[in-house]
Structure 1
């Protein structure tokens, strides 16, 4: 086999992507690239559902806890680093597996980032000032009016993403989404997309149970250890930002945990919205025997 392949496993959080990715890597005798942007950070283990020691030993993983929360690391940085890693892996492997629920990061590797126009830097400064004075909700409402498509899929609780979209909207008079429709960049591999799906009630139940397990495993202590750094953009993450409010005395612990579950469910809904737009994805219901998925992949490879 001379052609190189990237098997991409996508789907909402808590659906079982890690397990499937490992089984595929073992079956295909290859390695895994993580495209979960929340798992990049060394200090964030429990709240980002980093694979266990046993899972990491079952297959070689890349881009898991490789940087600090204090480091700036953009999707463009990941695109560059992941493509470089793929070049290295393809010297010995014909197939590599990529696992992740961060749609933008998956697309950066498989299709390339879109080209956005330069806009006046003052626009971002103004937006940050408005965020401080009026809060995030007002900016969210503006984004909803100017770009309903992006509004439906972006993490609305991430001010960095909201501001980035609005600076393009304001600076060009066009929607942020309109600049994301450029053709895919040429890649040195062929991508095979696999998606895991389930009924909404099943996904939500898995999310609720996962949050309870995270709390039992020490998520609160992890948040306490990071509390002094809570202003960092990397820590504006579901599971941490809610517990920071508890630690600041704004919420009781029960409320914070309930909010983690609610915001994670919302995140899963946005993930579904993002991935459903990709018609190349072959979807499998949760519970599908792994050998059936592996068989599908092997047929595609041959």
Structure 2
């Protein structure tokens, strides 16, 4: 049986759907949201409530403090251990969350070496300013024609990143991915939840209002009192830096809330752009299709196999 992944833009009802599924199927949820991993950040990350967390076993929620960086490599390593452990208990792992990079790492696999060196990358940036991007792209074409053909000659970031990897590891970027690429031994069904734009934006706006109503500002105040601040990795989540600035310097809270809504809507657009580039996924626009019908289909598809 394939492992289901429920993903898509923020505020499309992913968590609610899976919690309903949990009432009928013996599942455990693996969180694929980049910020729900952080302790003390509950309201602004739309983390499941304490009651919801008790209804169904959740993994990768509240595992680190906001001052610690979490990344796709750690997510992949966690899933590598979690998935077989959950399956060994006769339960179904269901991956839930909207971080496209995390989802893609499970489906496509992940390169297990970074090939990063900030000094080399900085030097390449300086050189690019001097001789131009065309010259850097031509250099990449000579070093790694396979990868160069896959990217635009105007893509500075990927051009320099590939050159950086070559100078760090001594092998072309394309070979690096082949040599160090790792894929989990499972097949996945990827379901991308979505709504029509107007409805999605309305849901996002209402969700932000609800977060404020639930005490999001006090949550940020508490985080600041614990010693975390705008430089903490957890504060990259939309709204936390904005509200921290409000608490420190004041301002028009209504304008700040409006800005958070706008940034969240833009984030949802970026999420959709990411998912549209993924292959072998199923888009589910619940503004058009019957959610209850899909719920029945899903629960039928993932019923335990009878021996």
Q: TM-score, normalised by structure 2?
A: 0.75
Q: What is the CA deviation profile of residues 33-92 of structure 1, one whole-angstrom value per residue up to 9, with x for unaligned ones? A: 110111000111000000122322332111111211122322211110121011111112
Q: Displacement, 1:167? A: 6.1
Shift of 1:123: 4.0
The answer to whether the 8 Å contact 2:220/2:244 transfers is yes
Partner of 2:155: 147
Within the candidate set 161, 165, 182, 1:168 is matched to 161
Which residue of structure 1 aligns with residue 38 of structure 2?
Answer: 41
For the residues of structure 2 that align with 1:117 and 1:51, how far apart are their CA atoms? 33
CA separation of 1:89 and 1:120: change in aligned 2, threshold 3 A: closer
Q: Secondary structure at the match of 1:257?
A: helix
Any stretches of 5+ residues in structure 1 without a counterpart?
128-143, 151-164
1:245 aligns with 2:245: yes
| TM-score normalised by L of structure 1 | 0.76
Q: Which segments of 5 or more consecutive residues in structure 2 lack a partner in the other structure?
A: 125-151, 167-172
Aligned Cα root-mean-square deviation (Å): 3.3
Specify whether residues 244 and 146 from structure 1 end up closer, same or farther in structure 2 by C-alpha distance, changes over 3 A only.
Answer: farther
Counterpart residue number, 1:111: 108
User: Does residue 1:24 correspond to 2:21, yes or no?
Assistant: yes
Deviates more, 1:78-87 or 1:20-29: 20-29
- Tell me which residue corresponds to 2:63: 66
d(CA) in 1 for partners of 2:122, 2:41: 29
CA distance in 1, matches of 2:238, 2:59: 23
Matches within 5 A, 1:127-276: 146-147=154-155, 168=161, 171=164, 185-227=182-224, 228-230=227-229, 231-249=231-249, 251-276=251-276
Distance 1:117 1:236, change over 3 A: closer
Deviation at 1:19, TM superposition (A): 1.0
Structure 1 residue 254, shift from structure 2 partner: 1.6
Distance 1:73 1:188 in 2: 24
- Report the CA distance shift for 1:91/1:218 in structure 2 as closer, same or farther (over 3 A): same
Q: SS of the residue aligned with 2:6?
A: strand
Asked if the contact 1:24–1:97 (Cα under 8 Å) also holds between the matched residues in 2, the reply is: no
1:275-294 correspondence to structure 2 within 5 Å: 275-286=275-286, 288-294=290-296
**Range with greater deviation from structure 2 (105-114 or 79-88):** 105-114
Cα deviation, residue 28, structure 1: 2.5
| Larger gyration radius, structure 1 or structure 2 | 2
Tell me, in whole angstroms, the C-alpha distance in 2 between the residues paired with 1:124 and 1:46.
Answer: 37
The one of 88, 98, 102 equivalent to 2:99 is: 102
- Offset of residue 185 of structure 1: 4.3
Query: 2:83 & 2:103 partners in 1: Cα distance?
Result: 13
* 8 A contact 2:7–2:98 mirrored in 1: yes
